[in-house]
């Protein structure tokens, strides 16, 4: 059934949130997306300092949906199997906290709601997460052709020639055309959560795009293939990239860009659909990613999960009524702010028992907003690592096998027993990122046998090359940041209303 109609005289905006998977912002991924640049960046506002609290897919998405830090929503890791602790399965997905999540808020605000694509890493085809009117969630996340979807309580499987991003695009637009335009007999606004899996590995492009960008290589940014002995174990022990490592990293870069061509087409078609039904001018479109990515930085051929800017900094662009065009905002925003911001745009007050950690960015992003911007100068990020190392095999084959999940055997250095670790158990950390008028810094505390610390001054070292931790001239800053980080990481330790976490100060 549709939600209650909006109050008389109230016209709520449509809201569409597009979230990709593993899309970087620092390795120039938008250069693969000319439609996006023209229709979103030039027509909207970019937040250049937008971050995620966990640089891994499912935990970050849970923070987007819940508005809570990972240590407060329970989805702090992905352990590689659908067990009871898989990305907070027991706590968030199918758990009590899912009743306090973005789709529930939007439904309560009077929206028709639909999800199209990747929700979390675990999908039950017979289950529909609370708040969704249309539930079309990706089942096999790493299969770009012939995928299956949990489709409002049943499994829908597509032909082996049907491309995943195109399926998500077409299905979401059909739903929009079904419920728009609004009129007296159909007064409900729509909230669509559109989540293509691109450019996540194996980054298999649609057939027409298989040879695009063939002459390009991954950006050789300053951390690319460098020795960093003053960084934590995972980085300091990395062996140099071989020529084969670099070639395969470059091929993954090209494949990622090729998959983004289809996302770019989806954005073009989405905006065309909204124009055709006469709703574009009263629709907010937001675009982000669950985390970033690195390709050769720190001598790791391709992965995520690091505490560095490549992995925790993500795209964020918004267009819509009252949003400045071709503008950039330097303020910090984070994934935990999205649920709060969209509820605010929808005119919905999140109940106190939800105990969200995020703040609303509405007044920062929308010039006509009457909301008060609380301001954010810092945020906490965290991760619980696990061992991922290439298995012995024939280099250059398994990683690039179309249609299958990569085994990473192609990421080894042939003949070199010191294969590249992609992540490790001691790549577990909690960190603090601060940007204000006087500071642009990052502190990372690792949960390892030596309690390793990293401190970077990004105002002079934007690529995090030099670890300042332990230096006498930075000790006062390190102590101050540690105290603040301890305060943030402790929030939630004491039960708040309804037994949930206390609000982070």
Element (H, E) at 16: strand 14-20
User: Roughly what angle, to the nearest 10 degrees, separates helices 57-66 and 338-345?
Assistant: 30
User: What 3-state DSSP class applies to 87?
Assistant: helix
DSSP string, 124-166: -TT---TT-SEEEEESSTT--BS-EEEETTEEEE--TT-BHHH
Q: Which residue, among 259, 158, 241, 249, has the nearest Cα to 203 in the 3D structure?
A: 259
CA end-to-end span of the chain:
39
* Cβ 164 vs Cβ 104: under 8 Å: no
Query: Cα 411–415–417 angle (5° rounding)?
Result: 75
For 282, counting Cβ atoms within 10 Å of its Cβ (0-12 exposed, 13-18 middle, 19+ buried), the class is middle
Strands 112-117 and 134-138: parallel
CA distance 314 to 488: 22
Task: Examine the residue annotation and report whether 58 is marked as an active-site residue of this protein.
Answer: no
Active site residue: 57, 58, 87, 491, which one?
A: 57
CA distance 386 to 395: 23
CA distance 47 to 24: 14
Q: List CB contacts of 31: < 8 A, sequence separation 6 or more.
A: 257
Handedness of CA 366, 372, 376, 377 (dihedral sign): positive
* Cβ 41 vs Cβ 30: under 8 Å: yes
Element (H, E) at 344: helix 338-345
Element (H, E) at 334: strand 327-334
Element (H, E) at 178: helix 164-179
* Cβ 190 vs Cβ 247: under 8 Å: no
* Token duo for residue 91: 């706590």
CA distance 176 to 314: 27
User: What 3-state DSSP class applies to 454?
Assistant: strand
For 495, counting Cβ atoms within 10 Å of its Cβ (0-12 exposed, 13-18 middle, 19+ buried), the class is exposed
Phi/psi at 410 (5° precision): -75, -5
Instruction: Report residue 90 CA to chain centroid gap.
Output: 21
CA distance 296 to 232: 17
CA distance 227 to 413: 16
Catalytic residues: 57
């Amino acid at each position: 059934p549709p939600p209650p109609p909006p109050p008389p005289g109230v016209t709520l905006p449509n809201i569409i949130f597009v979230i990709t998977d593993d899309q970087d912002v620092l390795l120039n991924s938008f250069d693969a997306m000319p439609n996006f640049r023209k229709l979103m960046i030039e027509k909207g506002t970019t937040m250049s300092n937008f971050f995620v609290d966990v640089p891994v897919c499912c935990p970050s998405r849970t923070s987007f949906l819940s508005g809570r830090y990972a240590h407060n929503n329970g989805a702090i890791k992905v352990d590689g199997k659908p067990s009871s602790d898989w990305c907070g399965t027991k706590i968030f997905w199918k758990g009590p906290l899912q009743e306090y999540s973005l789709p529930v808020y939007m439904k309560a605000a009077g929206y028709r709601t639909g999800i199209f694509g990747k929700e979390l890493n675990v999908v039950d085809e017979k289950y529909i997460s609370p708040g969704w009117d249309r539930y079309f969630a990706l089942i096999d996340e790493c299969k770009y052709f012939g995928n299956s979807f949990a489709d409002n309580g049943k499994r829908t499987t597509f032909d082996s020639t049907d491309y995943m991003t195109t399926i998500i695009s077409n299905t979401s637009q059909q739903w929009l055309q079904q419920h728009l335009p609004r009129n007296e007999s159909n007064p409900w606004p729509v909230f669509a959560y559109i989540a293509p899996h691109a450019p996540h590995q194996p980054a298999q492009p649609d057939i027409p795009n298989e040879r695009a960008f063939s002459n390009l290589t991954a950006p050789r940014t300053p951390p690319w293939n460098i020795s960093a002995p003053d960084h934590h174990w995972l980085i300091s022990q990395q062996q140099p990239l071989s020529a084969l490592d670099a070639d395969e990293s470059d091929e993954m870069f090209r494949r990622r860009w090729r998959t983004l061509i289809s996302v770019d087409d989806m954005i073009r078609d989405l905006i065309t659909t909204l124009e055709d039904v006469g709703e574009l001018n009263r629709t907010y479109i937001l675009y982000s990613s669950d985390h970033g990515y690195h390709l050769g930085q720190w001598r790791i051929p391709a992965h995520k999960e690091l505490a560095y800017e490549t992995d925790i900094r993500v795209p964020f662009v918004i267009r819509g009524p009252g949003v400045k065009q071709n503008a950039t905002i330097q303020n910090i925003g984070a994934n935990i702010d999205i649920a709060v911001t969209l509820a605010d745009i929808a005119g919905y007050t999140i109940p106190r028992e939800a105990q969200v950690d995020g703040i609303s960015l509405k007044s920062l992003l929308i010039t006509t907003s009457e909301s008060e911007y609380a301001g954010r100068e810092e945020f906490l990020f965290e991760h619980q690592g696990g061992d991922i190392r290439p298995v012995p095999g024939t280099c250059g084959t398994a990683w690039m096998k179309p249609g299958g999940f990569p085994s990473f055997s192609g990421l080894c250095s042939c003949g070199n027993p010191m294969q590249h670790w992609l992540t490790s158990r001691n790549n577990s950390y909690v960190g603090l990122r601060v940007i204000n008028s006087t500071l642009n810094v990052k502190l990372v505390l690792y949960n390892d046998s030596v309690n390793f610390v990293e401190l970077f001054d990004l105002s002079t070292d934007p690529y995090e090359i030099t670890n300042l931790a332990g230096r006498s001239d930075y000790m006062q800053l390190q102590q101050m940041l540690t105290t603040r980080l301890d305060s943030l990481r402790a929030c939630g330790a004491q039960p708040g209303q309804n037994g949930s976490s206390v609000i982070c100060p």
